[in-house]
Structure 1
Amino acid sequence: MPAPLGRVVEMLSTLPGVGPKTAMRLGLNLLSRPASETVALADALKLLHEQVGFCDICGCFAEKGLCQQCDDPAREGDTVCIVEQPVDVLMMERGHNYRGHYHVLHGRLSPVDGVGPEELNLAALDRRVEAGIKELILATSATVDGEATAHYIARRYRDAGVRISRIARGVPEGGELEYLDEHTLSRALDQRISWDNGSI
């Protein structure tokens, strides 16, 4: 194939979830589009790193100094949900139920990968806790490293006068028991709630 097309296919195939065949289809699709659309896409990709950075307070994606959540005075300033990556904030916001703030760690503890507390965004969280946060919601992943990170943070702030909670784990809405692993079922049983307090 022509070298420019090969370069595009090569670059596309480095994206997560995009294999060589999909990269080829995408490259050919871009080639078949009007040149103006391809240039618009290239401009958008160029501006991505130039205009999108991280929030000065929470570490989430931000176009300027603060992200939309930290810049919103209507949100609850004394509640902070701790997540591992900025994309986790985007997923949490899809529910439209949480009205507090976030704090992005930019990773999770992983001794095997050489990631310790110093590599996480914890110094900024220390400052926020000292400023008077009332509740920290641990929303790290349900992996071994995610659980270790949650336990570390809980120990780190247990004497800071802040309430520490953990998002619930268990059976997803619409899920069938036969397709769940034993760890998920165990979590669901451990975190069961009273029928009167449920949503049914």
Structure 2
Amino acid sequence: MLKFAKDDTTELGMSAISQAPSQTRTGLVVIALVIVTGLLLYHYLRRLYYPCLTLSELDNAQKSLKEVFDAANSALCLHGRESEDITHAKLCLDGRASDIRFDGLQRPPSFCNTRLGIEIELIPRIVEWHADAERLKKDIKIIVERITRHRINSQLSEITPTTADAQIVANTGREVAPQAPLRHRNRRPGDPMPEAAVGTN
């Protein structure tokens, strides 16, 4: 009787020992999945709400603003007072970005800066700078689209197709080439139009 009890206890102990590694592996897998999911969620939310937090991201945002500004100037979309205001706003943003970088270079190395590339003290200034830069980019794009629409409408106003040609273009999507007037085979340039041709016109 005691022998059977001892055997049962041994089997239960061996079963528990054999199940322990399996449970440990399952727990590690769950922990790894939680960590990976948390990191992915963090990066998604960070890009969504705070896409610019580090000095390197500040540099990229400044380059993007410069590209939009240079493209607007190349397309001759900035004129007069509007051009002066946009240029002044961009220069102010360039100065603020330079001040942020200068302050970042003067700070001693920290854990966040070394491991994450983030300066905690500079984050509010970088976030504010990025928001102002995005507003300026949007203003420049609005000006470019407004000038582009004006130029397209001006070109369309110079083209005045006849009603029949406009209807054909609307129905077929293809322009109609202008047709030369009909000319009688035996008629010379100075002769009057034949009566039949006049009637048909």
TM-score normalized by structure 1? 0.20
Tell which structure's C-alpha radius of gyration is larger. Answer: 2
Name the structure with the higher helix share.
2
Q: Which has the higher contact order (CA 8 A, sep 6+)?
A: 2
Q: Name the one with the larger strand percent.
A: 1
Task: Provide the TM-score with structure 2 as the length reference.
Answer: 0.19
